[in-house]
Amino acid sequence: MDNFKTLYGYELKKIIRRKIVLVTAAIMLPIVIFTVIAALLGDYYANGVKIDTHYHMFQTDKEYQQRLSGRSIDQSLLEEMKAGYDKIPSDVEAYTLTKEYEAYARPYSAIFQFVRNTANMTVSEVRQWAADEEDMHAMRQRMLEETREELRLTQGEKVFWQEQEDNLEWPMTFVYKDGYWQLFDCMNTIGLMMLIMITVCLSSVFAEEHAKRTDQLILCSRYGRHKAYWAKILAEISFSLLVSIVYIVLAFGLAFALYGADGFSGAFQLMYTNYSYPLSVGEAVLISYSMLMIAGVLTGIFVMMLSELLHSGIGTLALVVGMIILLLFFNIPEQYRAASQLLSYIPSEFVAVWSIFSSRTVSLAGRTFTAWQAVPILYILAGGIFAVAGKRVYANYQVSGR
């Protein structure tokens, strides 16, 4: 056991102390910082004229939302919102630039947006809508039914999601939640930057040994073909988790410092209205970033396996990063249900909130599991397969065969 600890510590230090780790972090971490703070930067222009700064606009809207925080989005609040928007002249196209919008409607803009998303209406439709809480719920139900049909959900899945929908509490209570919203909105970019850093830093771990021909010494040593391999894999898992934690701590720290940490207990549907599972805002964000960590670990194991299989760090890096970039532009139509669902489970795809909170489920032993419940299990199985496959290649490699 002491020998394994020594090997593990050596392999982890070897990964962390590589210059490529510092270089990659120096490139990727500023991107993460910019992604979180971007909403506060710059000015807002209309027709070439500066109207306001984004930071001041955020502060104004934050104050309005905090005034509404804790109120039920019921008939009374809907009517207040509608009364404010009714004061805007109907013949003005750029209505957000009017003094009537600033004075009467803007304080309710968050409720206006919630109604838009919940009932799947356009801006003009909401402005012409007669505020009616029951009508909003009916339109939401029609929107959910149409979405389930588009996703080719089975009858069992439709029943499952309707049961979840019935468990939601209506009317919902509005809360200020911009800190969590920013984390939710930035997660896809943060996740991709994390996966790229893990790939860059781990792509040559095994390949470097073959390139420098230190494999002769390692594979001929007492623990070279067995313990050394598992020490490398454990070091990779630790490094991937460390990178994930750094990214997450940085993102959470910035988001809460700039936007606030209020709203943890608010209903998730305030942020993602077409999802029926009863989660809170905070729970959904924690689930999202937990999935990001798991995706990072699986990616690291896959990269290590390829590094040993290809004996080329550059080849491994090009292949994995190429796959990540390709999948940004590749899509399988919803009508091919199984293929489309499997594609959404690939780590570079599963760091997106629309994949984590997809309505497509996994059925097993008579039970229904959501994507964020099923995918971690699939990742553990896939990670085990990749690790064992890499072990066979590593242990069977013959130095003389070079």
Q: Looking at the predicted structure, is the pLDDT value of residue 401 above 50?
A: no
Q: Supply the pLDDT for residue 251.
A: 96
Q: Which residue has the higher pLDDT, 193 or 393?
A: 193
For residues 110-127, average pLDDT: 94
Q: pLDDT, tens digit, for every residue of 23-76?
A: 999 999 999 999 999 999 999 988 888 889 999 999 999 999 999 999 999 999
52 three-state secondary structure: strand
For residues 316-321, average pLDDT: 90
What tokens were used for 154?
Answer: 């089975």
Q: Which residue has the higher pLDDT, 121 or 10?
A: 121
Q: Supply the pLDDT for residue 3.
A: 76
Q: Supply the pLDDT for residue 336.
A: 85
What tokens were used for 397?
Answer: 């490699």
Query: What is the average pLDDT score of the chain?
Result: 89
Mention every residue, 6+ apart, whose C-beta is less than 8 A from residue 112: 81, 85, 105, 126
- pTM of the predicted model, to two decimals? 0.90
Q: pLDDT, tens digit, for every residue of 361-382?
A: 998 888 899 999 999 999 999 9
Mention every residue, 6+ apart, whose C-beta is less than 8 A from residue 350: 291, 295, 344, 356, 371, 375
Q: What is the spatial distance between Cα 298 and Cα 237, in angstroms, rounded to a whole number?
A: 8
Q: Looking at the predicted structure, is the pLDDT value of residue 250 above 90?
A: yes
Q: What is the DSSP string of 319-369?
A: HHHHHHHHHHH----TTSHHHHHHHHTSHHHHTSHHHHT-S--EEETTEEE
CA nearest to 110, candidates 76, 141, 67, 140: 67
174, 71 Cβ separation under 8 angstroms: yes
Q: Supply the pLDDT for residue 113.
A: 96
Q: Supply the pLDDT for residue 226.
A: 63
Q: Which residue has the higher pLDDT, 351 or 335?
A: 351
Number of CB atoms found within 10 A of residue 150's CB: 11
For residues 161-188, average pLDDT: 95
Q: What is the spatial distance between Cα 122 and Cα 100, in angstroms, rounded to a whole number?
A: 20
Q: Supply the pLDDT for residue 227.
A: 76
* % the chain with pLDDT above 70: 92
Number of CB atoms found within 10 A of residue 243's CB: 25
CA nearest to 349, candidates 370, 368, 326, 366: 326
Q: Supply the pLDDT for residue 351.
A: 92
Q: Supply the pLDDT for residue 127.
A: 92
Q: What is the spatial distance between Cα 15 and Cα 82, in angstroms, rounded to a whole number?
A: 58
Q: What is the spatial distance between Cα 361 and Cα 368, in angstroms, rounded to a whole number?
A: 7
For residues 228-240, average pLDDT: 87
277, 370 Cβ separation under 8 angstroms: yes
pLDDT confidence tier of residue 240, bands split at 50, 70 and 90? very high
Q: Supply the pLDDT for residue 223.
A: 53
Q: Looking at the predicted structure, is the pLDDT value of residue 187 above 60?
A: yes
Q: Which residues of 40-57 are buried (b: 16+ CB within 10 A; e: fewer)?
A: beeeeeeeeeeeeeeeeb
